[in-house]
Every structure is written in C-alpha cells, then in structure tokens.
Amino acid sequence: MDRERLKPYFDVLEIEPAASLTEVRNAYMLLKEVYSDPESIVTGPLAGEMGEESRRDILERLEEAYHVLLAAFEQSREEPRRRIEKVMADIETFDGPALKRIRERLGVDLNDMALATRIQVQHLINIEEENFSALPVKVYTRGFVANYARHLHLDEKRVVSDYMTRFEAATENNG
C-alpha cells in the first residue's frame, strides 16, 4: 500500500499514514459521530460559522476517506494471499499453529481480527495456542473457529473439522 499517496485520506481522518486498520476505523467512527450531531461539542460552537452544507461536506469527505483506505487495506492483503498458497500446500491439518502462521503471513493483526470477527483477542490466542481448556464449550469454540477461517478466507468446513477433532480429543482426555 502506497501510504504517501493515501496521505490526504489519512489527513481527513486526522491520523498518521502509519495508522493500522483499527486506528482508521476508530478515527472514522469518532469523527462521523462528532460531525453527525449538529450540536456536538465540536460543531455546536461553530453553528453560526459552519452551515449544514459544510457539515454534510465534511461527512462526505470522511466517508470517502474511510472507504478508500478500507479498499487500500483490503488490496494490500491480496498480495500476501498469493504468497500464502505455498504455506497452504504444506498444511495437512489446520491446527492452532497452522492458523497462526497463515494469519501472520497474511499480515492480519490479532486486534484487527478481534474487531472484525467480534471474538475476544484472548480466545483467538487460545485457538492459535491450542489452549483447549481455556476455550469455551464446544458449540462456541466451533463458531469461533468457523469465524476465524471465514475471516481469513480459508476452507471453513475443513478448518472447523480439523480443529474440532483436536479440540474434542483434548477435552475428552481432560474431561
């Protein structure tokens, strides 16, 4: 991703070009909330100077910046996907360490993944480390693993099957 070329969009969101996807989302959500309310702490004092049209213009620029940056982040994830094909060829079983390797090769940050999947970071870590005793009951773990696979565009059924076989074996031996 050419962050210097995208600098004007980062500027609109009032963040540095080195910002993460999470920081882009947070900045967008905060600014959208601030400028959506004509009586907010930011826009209220400017009511006489900032008309409705100016406020709408700012909101449109925020939307454009957010969507351009989202597309750039998504595009930057496509290149690692091509490289990941080699790693995928070597994987016989989707276990925790294999999932972590894939996620890291794709350049997906755990915090970004937690935000996107709505799975707590600690659960994601427990999945990757196969800390089965710290994971929730089978039905929730299955859902978390499916969501994890879906987010990385992996074969969801295969990932869930491989991982849950290991989970069930471990929890039967400890239960």
Residues 95 and 169 in one domain: yes
Per-residue confidence (pLDDT) for residue 84, from 0 to 100: 65
Q: What is the pLDDT of residues 109-139, one digit of tens each?
A: 999 999 989 999 999 999 999 999 999 999 9
Q: Model confidence at 81, in pLDDT bands (50, 70, 90)?
A: low
Binning pLDDT at 50, 70 and 90, where does residue 88 land? confident
Tell me: do 113 and 44 sit in the same domain.
no
pLDDT in tens, 93-103: 999 999 998 88
Quickly state the pLDDT bin for 78 (edges 50, 70, 90). low
Domain boundary among 73, 108, 127: 73
pLDDT, tens only, 139-175: 999 999 999 999 888 889 999 999 999 999 998 876 5
107 shares its domain with 157: yes
pLDDT (0 to 100) of residue 79:
61
Q: List pLDDT tens digits, range 14-33.
A: 999 999 888 999 999 999 98
DSSP structure string for 110-173: HHHHHHHHT--HHHHHHHHTT-GGGS--HHHHHHHHHHHHHHTT--HHHHHHHHHHHHHHHHHH
Kindly state whether residue 51 falls inside one of the protein's structural domains. Answer: yes
User: Do both 105 and 170 map to the same domain?
Assistant: yes
Q: What domain range is 25 assigned to?
A: 7-73
pLDDT on residue 142: 97
Rg (CA), the chain: 21
Domain match, 42 and 99 both: no
How many residues are recorded in the chain?
175
For 60, 93, 135, 136, 157, the CA distances from 67, given in Å and listed in that order, are 11, 36, 35, 35, 31
Average pLDDT, the chain: 87
Average pLDDT over residues 69-87: 73
Q: Residue 104 falls within a domain, yes or no?
A: yes
Number of domains in the chain: 2
